[in-house]
Every structure is written in C-alpha cells, then in structure tokens.
Amino acid sequence: MDSPRVRDPERMRERILDAAQALILDHGFAATTVDAVVGRAGATKGAFFHHFGSKSELARALVERYAAMDRAHLEERLSRAEKLSSDPLQQVLLLIALYEEEFASMAEPFAGCLFASYIYEAKLFDDSTLEVLRDSTLRWRRVMREKLEKVAARYPPRREVDMESLADLFYSITEGAFIMTKTLGDKTLLGRQARHLRNYLELLFAPAETGVTPPIS
C-alpha cells in the first residue's frame, strides 16, 4: 500500500538526508542518532550504512547538499532580480523583496539553517565539512559585495561604508532572524527583518532627498 516495493537508491538516499536534516535542526547533530534518522526515513541501519560510510560522512554529504541548494537558490533569485531591472540598486532591493515574499509565504515558522546548527557544534566536524560552511559564507559575501560595488559606483553612499561588511549584513541579519524565529516561533519576523535591510540600503544609497522611494506597503 504505502511503501512501494520498488527500489530507488537515489530517492532512499534523499529520504535519509531529508530525515537527518529535519532532526538535526531540532536536536543538533550529536543528539541525532542514526536509529532516529532511519526511523524517520522509513529505512534501516543497513540502508543507512550502505549509502553513507559513517555518521560524519552523512554530515558532510548533508551540508554539501544544503550549500548547493543555498547557492542555487541565491543565483536563481539574483538572476530573476537582474531580469526585472537593469539598475544594480533596484536589483539588490528586488532580491531582498523576493526573499521577503518567500519568507512571508512559508507555512511553518522556518526550521533553521544547517550552517548555524553546525557552527555551534563545530568541534564535532572535520575540516572538510567546516570548509563548506566557510565557502558558502564567503560566497554570499562575494556575490553581494560585487553587486553592492556596482550600486555604490552609481549611487554614492550617504555614509562611508565598506562594502564587505555591508555585504555580510545579508547573511548576518538572515541568520539572526532565523534564531529569533526559532526562539519566538513568529513566522513574520524573518520578512520584517529583511525589510529593514532593504530600508537601510534605500536610505544609504538614496540618490537625492526626493529620490527616496516610498514604502511599497
């Protein structure tokens, strides 16, 4: 009935990864047992250790999948924003707005970020796993920084800011808002925090007094 007797190794692997991710975001990596993972995935230990050589290998595979998804997600949104406007400032603002939209349309309050989960158990992971975190963070920095430098070239910022830390603000605010969301269970929080980032950029790069765009509401 419910369980198709057909074998689909790729799907099984994904099911295990999905189960592990959900459990890890609630319990952390250490407290997520292999038994619990296979239980949730509807698999067995045999299947688990067939697909992953060890629990640490699962950790790396999981974060690599997550990083790839995060990267693809950012690239997709950014290219959408770039198609919607040719002005770099508008592109950045649109990018944030797109994220706001998605946050607003989420059913549950958001489970959390795997990067943040890992970093607070950093000593449990090997360097190659932590390298994925660093790479992803630095990618965010680079992508946003390049875009912001184009913005700054066209719209001289009203305050002297370095573009690196301004780029980091995207990551910071998001991660911080994830934590608050998990703490308070308020799913509107994420979008409202992103909105402030948008406000800041609008104010910072506002071309002239009258050029301040009105709130979209």
Among a second copy, DNA, none, partner that 202 touches (CB below 5 to 8 angstroms by kind): a second copy
**Which span (51-59, 118-126, 172-180, 196-204) binds DNA, by CB under 7 A?**
51-59
- At 35 the three-state DSSP class reads helix
Helices (H), the chain: 9-27, 34-41, 45-51, 55-84, 88-104, 114-119, 127-154, 163-184, 189-204
Return the number of the residue (34 or 98) whose C-beta is nearest DNA: 34
Q: Identify which of residues 44 and 188 has a Cβ nearer to a second copy in the complex.
A: 188
Tokens of 2: 């419910």
Q: State which of residues 31, 68, 69, 104 lies at the interface with a second copy (CB under 8 A).
A: 31
Of 195, 191, 141, the C-alpha closest to 166 is 141
Q: 42: closest CA among 18, 66, 10, 21?
A: 18
Q: Shortest approach of a second copy to residue 65 CB, angstroms?
A: 18
Contacts of a second copy in 142-161 (CB under 8 A): 158-161
Cα separation, 121 vs 58, whole angstroms: 15
Smallest gap, in angstroms, from Cβ of residue 208 to DNA?
A: 59
Measured from the CB of residue 102, what is the shortest distance to DNA in angstroms?
A: 32
CB of 22 to DNA, least distance (A): 15
